[in-house]
Structure 1
Amino acid sequence: MVKGREYERVFVYFDENGDGKVSPSEIKNRMGMIVGGGDVLLNEVEVAIESLDKDGDGFLDLEDLVGLIEGASAEEKLKDLREAFGLYDFDNRGFISPNDLKRMLAKLGESKSIDECRMMIDRFDLNGDGVLSFEEFRIMMQ
């Protein structure tokens, strides 16, 4: 699993003493090196670790680090989906109508009838209201 090895490499980089846990001082040291000797405050690092530390021991383990990285990735994906949804939701109403879909497809150079757009929406319209909510759009995009 390539992703797992990449996480392990990042973890090993921060785990200066090789004890399998990353302390606030290790993060402070490594972050200082990353930001070109900039001053990273230890109390800021401690607060960050406290919010990520699942077992409450004051250190980050590999699982905590993976959660941090994947959590950020999930947030980015959600942000990207919201932006994409906004491209279709022309009137900022919180849903994509068949007309919205037709308009966006036309912008993309694809001509569809309103009936074709309704059929496309119906495939993912979970509550049957004739439009796509963000949640339905998110499910469709997975």
Structure 2
Amino acid sequence: MATEGSKPCVYLQDMEEVKKVFARFDANGDGMISGDELYGVLKALGSDTSPEEVARMMAEIDTDKDGCINIDEFADFCKNDDSVDGGAKELKEAFDLYDQDHNGRISATELHQILNRLGQNCTIQDCTRMITSVDVNGDGYVCFEEFKKMMGNR
């Protein structure tokens, strides 16, 4: 998911949003993200990230080398550094995690599955409302272009 120098969460501009995402990764609530917690969230999202890749990600993000990622390291990692592609690769990777059937569209059902895997208590109707709020062309799905616009508005 992350490669050297990449910023997989470039759309997290607001510190409150960073804290919410951090809390999802910090499964035991100790204020630190361990390698096991990072691996668990990636797996829940459907990523086939290997333990070796997780170790590389941890090494990249854990700047104080204490073996865990704290909120400051996570926030630094999530800052938009205006990279060459503007984060397009990372946005596509995020989109692909939600697009479970790989048809180029995120349905309310796919959104519901992912959010429930992440421990969110929401209904299909909630997810339908979320989809409708960003569904510019009215087809009932979120395509990558709509997803990019939605993430750009955060």
Normalising by the residue count of structure 1, what TM-score does the alignment of the two structures yield? 0.48
Normalising by the residue count of structure 2, what TM-score does the alignment of the two structures yield? 0.45
Of Structure 1 and Structure 2, the greater helix share is in: 1
